[in-house]
Amino acid sequence: MAKPSSPNQKKVGARVAVVAAGVVSPLGFGLAETLESLRKARDCVSPVTRFSVGQCRCKTAGQVPDDRLLAGQGEGIRGHRLHRASHMMIQALKEVVTQEPQFKPELAVIGTTSGGMSYGEHYYRSLRQAEELRHAPTWIANYPAQKPVIDAQEAFGFFAPCQVIANACASGTNAIGHAFECVRSGRYQRVLAGGYDALAEMVFVGFDSLQASTPEKCRPFDRHRTGMVLGEGAAILALENLELAQKRGAPVLAEIIGYGISTDNFHITQPEPSGVGPRQAMERALQSADISAGEVDYINAHGTATVFNDAAEGKAISTIFDGVPVSSTKSMMGHSLGAAGAVEAIVCLLALQHQFLPPNINFQALDDGLELNVVANEAQPALLSMALSNSFGFGGTNASILMRKFEV
């Protein structure tokens, strides 16, 4: 159980507001479409069409449609040369700029795992097969992880320094947590935070070869779960010192109030079975926010639907919390790796704003070894004040953030 803080303990640092947010994912383009998909419990996982999956066990993924992603963006030669990840980041940042045109970031902190991995594939495959390399400059230019962040900033006239966090599947949550600490500490007043990842063949085949991906539906925490499906997307949150945001009349969508991290170092791909790593990350987020476990109203779980991850996370949640509603929205859109924590932070934001519990779809029966209150198959209305978002990755890297509904 997380040790409750002393009631006389004084919170240190500035309050951190979310003043704008943007997202593109299999659930939709923008906050409104994402909200509608969540409320309708849409299964946005579909057959993979971008590359051949004939020899893979898993043949589905959560995908962002190219016809919408590329329509009207990046006109001219430069636009055609941008990677899909850059277009997703541009789309997400466009929504942020539309909501809050006066927000001028001093720093951008973005999480990702693979950058322009698909262009790296093209380059190395061409080298090995002695193919035509006239596209090599484009492939190489779009390969670095910071390129989509730079492209998105340039599209809207931002020139903030960029920090990229590549910490496996915890990257997006780590990026938001780090940005939160930057603002809370007073070192920065306005920071862009989020994550992105685009579906890539090498990554897809890699997860399939590990037999982590399922040929069936993704069903987190279900007794009959058989694995994950991959996804893709990008999400960005504009974080600002709350006092300064209120002084300039900026809208406050929510507050980030806590961040916790841990590393269990148990195995390169498997979590420590007892759930000690996730438990420590959640406990540290509660301590960071100076709140008790009983004050959390909803948990957006990492919930990949793999046997080991769900078991470890489920044990950790039930050790700390008593009956709090839990769901994994990866069941609806797949696991977008470095983008997952950022997209799921948007899910928490929408849940707090619109007072509902996002669903864990494809759910039939809770695993015998788990004691969780799963939000099964349908969104549910609820009174929510506090939401916790979890992201846990290969190598035992664990991160949790706490978000609070803003009360005027």
C-alpha 191: how far from its chain's center? 17
User: What tokens were used for 265?
Assistant: 């170092």
Q: Is 369 exposed, middle or buried (0-12, 13-18, 19+ CB in 10 A)?
A: exposed
16-404 adopts what CATH topology? Peroxisomal Thiolase; Chain A, domain 1 (3.40.47)
Report the DSSP beta bridge partners of residue 23.
235
Structure tokens of 233? Answer: 């997307």
| Pairing, β 107-111 against β 45-47 | unpaired
Q: Is 122 designated active site?
A: no
Distances, alpha carbon 12 to alpha carbons 113, 119, 245, 258, 281, in Å: 32, 44, 19, 12, 19
* Catalytic residue (one of 169, 182, 218, 348): 169
**First-to-last C-alpha distance (Å) of the chain:** 32
- Is 169 noted as a catalytic residue in this protein? yes
What is the pLDDT at residue 72?
A: 64
CA torsion 306-172-209-223 (nearest 10°) is 10
Q: Could you tell me which of 340, 350, 57 has the C-alpha nearest to residue 215?
A: 57
pLDDT of residue 11: 52
82: phi then psi, degrees, rounded to nearest 5:
-75, 145
| Alpha-carbon gap, residue 253 to 353, rounded angstroms | 7
- List the chain residues with pLDDT less than 70: 1-12, 72-80, 115-117, 119, 124
Alpha helices in 40-83 (DSSP H): 66-69, 76-81
Helices (H) and strands (E) in the chain, counts: 14, 16
267 part of the active site: no
**What would the two tokens of residue 303 be?**
């919930």
pLDDT in the model for residue 12: 67
Determine which one of 83, 122, 178, 335 is catalytic.
335
- Beta carbons of 376 and 359 less than 8 angstroms apart: yes
What pLDDT digit, counting tens, does each position of 68-127 carry?
999 865 555 456 678 999 999 999 999 999 999 999 999 999 999 976 667 677 776 777
Angle between helices 340-354 and 171-184 (to 10 degrees): 60
Q: Which two tokens stand for residue 313?
A: 């996370």
Maximum distance among all alpha carbons in the chain?
Answer: 69
Residue closest to 217 by CA, chosen among 378, 25, 62: 62
Q: Tens digit of pLDDT for each residue in 346-385?
A: 999 999 999 999 999 999 999 988 999 999 999 999 999 9
Q: Helix (H, G, I), strand (E, B), or coil: what is residue 317?
A: helix
Token pair recorded at residue 211: 């037999």
pLDDT score, position 7 = 38
The residues, ordered by sequence, that sit 6+ positions from 55 with a Cβ below 8 Å of its Cβ are none
Determine the residue type at 31: L
Between CA 53 and CA 213 the distance in angstroms is 12
Query: What pLDDT is attached to residue 131?
Result: 72
Phi, psi of 402, rounded to the nearest 5 degrees: -115, 130
Instruction: Encode burial over 22-36: b for 16+ CB neighbours within 10 A, e otherwise.
Output: bbbbbbbbbbeebbe
Catalytic-labelled residue, pool 58, 182, 302, 348: 302
